[in-house]
Structure 1
C-alpha cells in the first residue's frame, strides 16, 4: 500500500486541525510564528494536504481573523469556534459539526505541532479499516503516545460530545479496549506553548535541514 504522502484522496476520511487556542502562555498567536518558508500553521496544513484526506476542517478561534489573512487555507473548510476558551473539545465539536455525511474516520492534528509527518497517518487509517478494526488508533512513539490520533465511525459521536481540555485523552482511557497503538518511529513531536517550545521546534527544523 502506498504511503500517506503517495495515496490518492482517501474516501471517507477527514482531518480536523485544532488551531483555535488563544496562545495565552506564549502571548502572541502561535499559529503565525515564523517557521520554515511560512508560519507554524502553514507547516501543519502542508502535512494534511500531503495525506490526501477527503475533507480537511480547520478549527479557528483566537486570532482567527489574523490567521485567515495570513495563512493560505485553500482546500480547508474553516470552523469558527467562539467558545475556544473552553478547551480543545469545543474546537473538536465545532469541526465535527461540518463533517460531510459518510465520514468514516477522523484524524486529529494539532495546529501547533509542525513535526508530525504525513507518513504517520496511513498506518492509523489502515488499523481502523481492518475488518476487526478498533474504534481508535494512536501513534506509539519511542517515548509515549501522541498525535495524530484517528477515530473510526463508531466513536465519532463520542468525539463530538466531549467537554473540557483533556477530554480526548479521557475518552481514549475510557475506551481503551477499542484503541490500538500503532508503532511510530521517533519521539513525540513537539508542540508549541511557550517561547522555549518555539526555540526547540526551530532547532529541530534547522537540524533536519
Structure 2
C-alpha cells in the first residue's frame, strides 16, 4: 500500500496577526512539531501546503524530503488540497490529511488509522476521539475527483458528513488535539508545558498578549515505513 501524507499549513492567521505556523511550541514551532510527527509516520510520500507566509516559513523550517506545494490564495479561502493533489504520487492508494497547527496528533493515531483502512477498500477513514471526530483523516484514491471540487479546505468535512461514501471511524486516545486559531487557543495549548522542557514560559504573556513567533532549528528528516 502506497500512502501519501498531506500536511495542510497554508491557512492564514487573521486572528493572530502573525503566521501561526511559526508560533513557539515545545522548544520549536507549531509547524515544525507537526512536520516531525508527519515524518515519523513513514509515509511513502509527504506533501506540505504553504500559503502567503511561505517565504517566512521556509526561512525557519527545513523541508528536506518533503514535496512543498504553494497555495498563496488559501488565505482568501481557496482550497490548498486541490493544488496538492497534482503533486500526489500516481502510485498513491490514498492520502492521510493532517493539520500544521495541530501538533498534538501522534504518529500512533496515524498508524492506527492506516492499519484500519489498509485491509478493505475504505473510501474515508476518520479518527474518533473521546469528544468527537477529527484529524488525521484518510481519503482513498477514488475520492480524489470529489476532493478536486473543494472550494475550501473546510469543505473536507462536508465530504465526510454528507453520507455519500462509507466512513470508517477509528478510535483515537483522548480528546481531539487542540488547533491554534486564536491567542486563547495558543494559551490553552502551551500553558501545560514546563519551562524546564524548553517550551512555553508563563511569564512570556506578562508584558504582551501576543508572543513572538520564534525561529526553529532544522527538523531532521526521518523515514520509516508506514504501518501495513
TM-score band w.r.t. shorter chain: 0.7 to 0.9
Q: How does 1:135-174 map to 2 (within 5 A)?
A: 135-174=123-162
Q: Aligned partners of 2:100, 2:170: CA distance in 1, in Å?
A: 22
Q: Secondary structure at the match of 1:83?
A: helix
Q: 1:20 aligns with which of 5, 10, 21?
A: 10
Q: How does 1:13-162 map to 2 (within 5 A)?
A: 13-87=3-77, 90-131=79-120, 133-162=121-150
Q: 1:184 aligns with which of 159, 172, 187?
A: 172
Q: Which moved more, 1:151-160 or 1:75-84?
A: 151-160
Contact 2:102 2:177 survives alignment (8 Å): yes
Q: Secondary structure at the match of 2:68?
A: strand
Q: 1:206: how far off?
A: 3.9
Q: Aligned partners of 2:50, 2:8: CA distance in 1, in Å?
A: 7
Q: Are residues 164 and 90 of structure 1, via their aligned partners in 2, closer, same or farther at CA, if it must alter by over 3 Å? A: closer
Q: Secondary structure at the match of 1:98?
A: coil
Tell me the TM-score normalised to structure 2 length: 0.81
Q: Aligned partners of 2:169, 2:186: CA distance in 1, in Å?
A: 28
Identify the structure with bigger relative contact order (alpha carbons < 8 Å, sequence gap 6+): 2
Tell me the TM-score normalised to structure 1 length: 0.88
Q: Secondary structure at the match of 1:151?
A: strand
Q: Aligned partners of 2:63, 2:34: CA distance in 1, in Å?
A: 11
State how many pairs are aligned: 196
Higher strand share: 1
* Structure 1, unaligned runs of 5 or more: 1-10
Q: Are residues 165 and 13 of structure 1, via their aligned partners in 2, closer, same or farther at CA, if it must alter by over 3 Å? A: closer
Contact 2:80 2:152 survives alignment (8 Å): no
Q: Aligned partners of 1:85, 1:189: CA distance in 2, in Å?
A: 23
- For the aligned residues, what is the CA RMSD? 1.7
Q: 1:177: how far off?
A: 4.5
Q: Aligned partners of 1:178, 1:206: CA distance in 2, in Å?
A: 43
Contact 2:124 2:165 survives alignment (8 Å): no
Contact 2:94 2:139 survives alignment (8 Å): yes
Q: Secondary structure at the match of 1:90?
A: coil
Moved beyond 3 Å, runs of 4+: 204-207
